[in-house]
Structure 1
Amino acid sequence: MWSIGLLAEHAGVTVKTVRFYSDRGLLPEAARSGGGHRRYGPEALDRLRLIRSLRALDLPVPEVDRVLEHEDALEDALEDAIAGQLRELGSRLTALRWREAALRLVAECTPAERPGRLRLIGAMTTPPSTAPLARFWRGWLPPRLPARVLAATVEQAVPAVPDDPTPAQVLAFARLQAFVSAPCDGGARFQPEAHRGGRGYRPELLYDGLTEAYALAAADVREGRSPHGGEALDCFVAAHAGALGSRDTPGFRRGLGSQLAAEQRLDGYWNLVAEVTAPPSGRPEPTPGAADDWLREALRKPQLTEGVR
């Protein structure tokens, strides 16, 4: 049996460290001497070394305790603990990258720009949350959309947060957050007339179809092809026709083109999304706003309207 001092000496730690882990129940003592001093068996050295290895991975003491409690399944418990630490470390690194990019954004701007940028950044967490953007879209979209359609539309409209942003992306996201955090009537101004109701209007058919139409048009937008007829445009028109209980006819397409041209737009939102999601190199992924522009332009071409039967 080893004394606490001998165990500490063999492990290369202080007596205080051994006592700390013993008091936490991580390092059970084998017995007590007649004078009440702790005594440990040789197996305590291996356990103490394991504890130090786990702590060297920055696992908190409660997590170390959980791993040691499952020694019969040590590998599984250790794998779960390490995976959790990697996720936490990844989040911390992302936060640091956002903070660095925000500091560079402020450092590299002119003195006149600095107060405005500081206000924008001060209103944003690092890394930022997409929750305000999702709330904006849930308030902007028509009420009582089916949960599946609502989730798909919001997912398509809300950009992912870059893990390693540039200063320009930090600025774009801060402006995006400011845009969606404006007073509620600001968003209402951009709502299509159809959102305000009407007998027989079925917005779930519109947004279900628009999600598909934007996905179909994305390849053409990405490759820079001129707007043209085809599956994407047909899907786009069918979504509007289905929501209104109409048929896809030349007259309907002409009327739809005029209606869409008169609507308020969310161009500012989509321009900022394009900046947030712009990759360091290569072609950017088209936003739903860019796909919508492409489809509206295709709809304005007379030959694509008159050719419908």
Structure 2
Amino acid sequence: MWSIGELAERAGVTVKTVRFYSDRGLLPEAGRSAGGHRRYGPEALDRLRLIRSLRTLDLPVPDVGRVLEREDVLEDVIAGQLRELGSQLAALRWREAALHLLRDCSAGERADRLRLVGAVSAPPGTDALTRFWRGWLPPRLPARLVSSILEQAVPQPPADPTPAQVLAFARLHAFVSRPCPPTPGADGQPAAHKSGSGYRPAMLYEGLGEAYALASPELRAQRPPHDGEALDCFVAAYARSCGARDTPAFRRALGGMLAADPRIDRYWQLTAELTGPSQPTPGAAHDWLCAALDAGTARSEGSDHPL
């Protein structure tokens, strides 16, 4: 039987440390001396060494207690610590990139950049972007479809961002957080979103997702807008959603409607800066398809009116 001082000496720790773990129930006493002093058996030394090993990994005291009670929870505790450490590292990487951004800019830019970066957490979340899209999308879309759209439209902050990506995300956050400016002659929504316009938005967005996916390889290959499967799918999505047929007249009318629709080009520009050219945004795919539609309509009109 060892006194608290003898146990501390054998374990290479202070008496205060032994008393701390004893008081929290992690290091049970084997008994008390006649004078009421704590006594510990040899098994306390192994237990104390295990406690120190777990604490060296920065495990909280409650988690150490769980492991001591049941060794089979160690894997879960380690997994939880790894997740927490990953979050801390992501925050540090984000802060480091933000500091480089502020250090390397001109004095005239610094105040504006500090305001932008200071408005987002480190690492930032995407709640503001999600709220923006829930307000932009037409109401009463199926939840499954909304989730799919959000997955494509809301970029995730990079785990190891560059200073330029920190700035792009901060600007994106500022863009979605401010009130949308009024659009002259409209309510700020595309024609296909408006109630009473004759469109069925759920059917439209189902088709648009497929059309954007078909256009993405064309964008990655940097091919100019052209006729083909992607454009046909794009036009068909609009035609089906309003019960029309894909005709030259419909394509001309669709081109005019899309040209007059309010746009959120700034959102897609900043998203592209954040994600890079290898991941074409839905906005870039939409622009490519609109350009293909306009080019095809112009050729059709030209063939109808030969010189």
| Same fold (TM > 0.5) | yes
Structure 2 equivalent of residue 293 of structure 1: 287
1:184 positional shift: 4.5
Q: Which moved more, 1:80-89 or 1:225-234?
A: 225-234
Identity level (%): 69
Structure 1 equivalent of residue 163 of structure 2: 167
Q: Deviations over 1:90-147 (max 9, x none)?
A: 1111111111111111111111111111111121111111110000000011111111
Alignment of 1:123-272 (within 5 A): 123-185=119-181, 190-198=188-196, 200-272=198-270
Alignment of 1:270-289 (within 5 A): 270-278=268-276, 283-289=277-283
Structure 2 equivalent of residue 96 of structure 1: 92
Measured on the aligned residues, the alpha-carbon RMSD in Å equals 2.0
Q: Is the CA contact (8 Å cut-off) linking 1:214 and 1:232 kept in structure 2? A: yes
How many residue pairs align between the two structures? 299
Alignment of 1:12-161 (within 5 A): 12-71=12-71, 73=72, 77-161=73-157
Q: Is the CA contact (8 Å cut-off) linking 2:248 and 2:297 kept in structure 1? A: no
SS at match of 1:9: helix
CA distance in 1, matches of 2:187, 2:81: 45
CA distance in 1, matches of 2:249, 2:178: 38
Q: Is the CA contact (8 Å cut-off) linking 2:226 and 2:296 kept in structure 1? A: no
1:249 positional shift: 2.1
Q: Is the CA contact (8 Å cut-off) linking 1:176 and 1:273 kept in structure 2? A: yes
One-letter amino acid matched to 1:152? S
CA distance in 2, matches of 1:66, 1:223: 55
SS at match of 1:286: coil
Q: Is the CA contact (8 Å cut-off) linking 2:26 and 2:65 kept in structure 1? A: yes
SS at match of 2:266: helix
SS at match of 1:113: helix
**Gap change, CA 1:164 and 1:257, over 3 Å in 2:** same
CA distance in 1, matches of 2:33, 2:180: 73
What TM-score, normalized to structure 1? 0.91
SS at match of 2:196: coil
1:231 positional shift: 2.7
Q: Deviations over 1:229-254 (max 9, x none)?
A: 33322221122112212222222222
CA distance in 2, matches of 1:39, 1:232: 79
What TM-score, normalized to structure 2? 0.92
SS at match of 2:262: coil
One-letter amino acid matched to 1:100? E
Q: Which moved more, 1:131-140 or 1:161-170?
A: 161-170
CA distance in 2, matches of 1:30, 1:210: 72
CA distance in 2, matches of 1:18, 1:43: 14
One-letter amino acid matched to 1:167? P
1:270 positional shift: 0.3
**Gap change, CA 1:305 and 1:237, over 3 Å in 2:** farther
SS at match of 2:245: coil
CA distance in 1, matches of 2:198, 2:190: 16
Q: Is the CA contact (8 Å cut-off) linking 1:229 and 1:304 kept in structure 2? A: no
CA distance in 1, matches of 2:296, 2:219: 20
1:20 positional shift: 0.6
SS at match of 1:112: helix
Q: Deviations over 1:207-239 (max 9, x none)?
A: 122122212211111111222233322221122
